[in-house]
Amino acid sequence: MQIAVIGTGYVGLVTGVCLSEFGFRVTCVDKDADKIAKLQQHIMPIFEPGLDKLIENNRKAARLSFSTDIAEAVGLADVVFIAVGTPQGDTDGMPNLTYINAAAKEIAKNLKNYTLVITKSTVPVGTNRKLVKIISEINPDADFDVASNPEFLREGAAIEDFMSPERIVAGIDSKRARDMLTKLYEPICLNGAKLFFTTFESAETIKYVTNSMLAVRIAMINEVADFCEKTGANIRDVAKGVGMDYRIGEKFLQPGPGYGGSCFPKDTMALQEMARNVGCNISIVEATIQSNTKRKVKMAEKVIAAAGGSVEGKTIAVLGLTFKPGTDDMREGASLVIVPELLKAGAKIRAYDPHGMKEAAKQLTGNIEWCEDAYDAMEKADALVIITEWNEFRSLDLKKVKALMGTPLVVDLRNVYKRQDMMENGFHYVSIGRQDVVPGQPWIADLNMQDEKAA
Ligand SMILES: NC(=O)c1ccc[n+]([C@@H]2O[C@H](COP(=O)([O-])OP(=O)(O)OC[C@H]3O[C@@H](n4cnc5c(N)ncnc54)[C@H](O)[C@@H]3O)[C@@H](O)[C@H]2O)c1
């Protein structure tokens, strides 16, 4: 089976590379000639663990190639994936479908034999049916089907997620599409995935509802964390105790500075807007969006409060800028709100991220020094703020941290550290959903010592 993937971003590149690993011949196409040229020279356009090795292996085996020639790739393909971006539009909460429509038109012009066109991009309900129309109008003789096949991979774990998903959702409207998808996904189903067939509209909805439900959980646990700070409860214990209920489960119950990334913010906005457009009110999603937007600003206020009410003229070390660890993706990251708020309040930022610095430097400007590593960032700092929980920030040498910093204040927005350790090392430690630890007031840290030692 010959496959073309249109759009070589996080989703398209992972899709193409993983399918080539399963033995299919894949051409990954992008209109960004620079990106394709780099890939041809084996320069990775994104950071995704394990991806470069798979690319190397499959290029050597002549199963994987990169091209800007959409006409040739589509003309040869049995299956064409559309994996172009669907970023949030400028006017309302709906995604911008310019790229997807343009891709469909290009595909239509170049279809030769029977081809299954699979939409991997996240698209509003009704889009796949429109794609059928676009292709048929441009090329009335085309022999094709469309399938809606939303992607659920997580950046940072994308290869594992693509190769061993729990389920593959496929919206179809023909038996031919069903047979083709069954053949295409056979190797992944052998890994244990369930292939779930449904209509276009249901498949499209499943994607938005999945991301929105996860976003709701995060927003809720974040607000519960605020509640814990006021009441003396410990969010770590609360999340653990709640998550032990099998009806709820333990995933997506870690509090933090607010969700970000290329999916949750735009997909919740799109669901809200789609619902409004048909006269429905998904008020829980609306509340989630508002809660998450406010949360990022609130995190900057938390840092300012921890620093004694002002960061004017103070140096703040920021560790972690990407929206989560394991990726260089900055889209909608909490740092994009927290850092500007701190700068606005007069702080000087010393920042470090293991893989996000290049992108961060494009998006964050002002009184920021880009540092060599975590220890470099905290030199003479008045506060240290952990925004993204990269592994390398999990076991900092606390004695060295204390010696380097001007003031031993740590604001841990990911609850990476045990309060007991921070207290023993003489830090004023502020985290999420747990009481502050202030040197000289050890009883608070003692309260959950057992549990935190075990965590
Ligand atoms: N990033 C994720 O974690 C993730 C997860 C699940 C679903 N999705 C969805 O997958 C889609 C793609 O997301 P992404 O993060 O990979 O996007 P991305 O922005 O990283 O990549 C999109 C790529 O498509 C290319 N492109 C745009 N129009 C094109 C055209 N006409 N022809 C050829 N190439 C074209 C762009 O140059 C770009 O390289 C979106 O709909 C997104 O919502 C993303």
A 10 A CB-CB count for 233 gives 18
**Using CA positions, which residue lies closest to atom 33 of ligand 1?**
30
Q: Provide the pLDDT for residue 449.
A: 47
From 18, 39, 84, give the residue whose CB has the most ligand 1 atoms within 8 Å, as the site to mutate: 84
**Using CA positions, which residue lies closest to atom 37 of ligand 1?**
32
Over residues 81-111, the pLDDT tens digits come to 999 999 999 888 999 999 999 999 999 999 9
Q: Which of the four pLDDT bands, split at 50, 70 and 90, describes residue 455?
A: very low
**Ligand 1 within 6 A of 326 CB?**
no
Residue with tokens 């333990």: 250
CB 146 within 8 A of CB 121: no
Q: Which residues pair with 167 in a beta bridge?
A: 194
Q: Provide the pLDDT for residue 443.
A: 53
Over residues 122-158, the pLDDT tens digits come to 999 999 999 999 999 999 999 999 999 999 999 999 9
**Mean pLDDT over the full length of the chain:** 95
Looking at residues 36-64, what average pLDDT do you find? 97
pTM recorded for the entire structure: 0.95
Which residues of the chain form CATH 3.40.50.720? 2-198, 294-454
Alpha helices, DSSP H, located in 62-119? 70-76, 98-110
294-454 is classed in which CATH architecture? 3-Layer(aba) Sandwich (3.40)
Structural tokens at position 269? 């906005």
Over residues 215-251, the pLDDT tens digits come to 999 999 999 999 999 999 999 999 999 999 999 999 9
Q: Provide the pLDDT for residue 442.
A: 57
Q: Provide the pLDDT for residue 90.
A: 87
Who has greater pLDDT, 286 or 438? 286
Over residues 372-386, the pLDDT tens digits come to 999 999 999 999 999
Q: Which of the four pLDDT bands, split at 50, 70 and 90, describes residue 440?
A: confident
Centre of ligand 1 to C-alpha 8, Å, is: 7
Tell me how far apart the terminal alpha carbons of the chain are, to the nearest angstrom: 48
CB 389 within 8 A of CB 416: yes
Share of residues in the chain with pLDDT > 90 (%): 93
The per-residue DSSP string of 204-254 comes to HHHHHHHHHHHHHHHHHHHHHHHHHHHHT--HHHHHHHHHTSTTT-STT--
Residue 55 predicted with pLDDT over 70: yes
Q: Provide the pLDDT for residue 438.
A: 81
Q: Provide the pLDDT for residue 91.
A: 83
**Ligand 1 within 6 A of 151 CB?**
yes
A 10 A CB-CB count for 223 gives 17
**Ligand 1 within 6 A of 332 CB?**
no
Q: Provide the pLDDT for residue 436.
A: 87
Instruction: Classify each residue of 360-381 as buried b or exposed e, where b means 16 or more C-beta atoms within 10 Å of its C-beta.
Output: beeebeeebebbeebbebbeeb
* CATH of region 2-198, choose from 3.40.50.720, 3.30.70.360, 3.90.550.10, 3.90.1300.10: 3.40.50.720
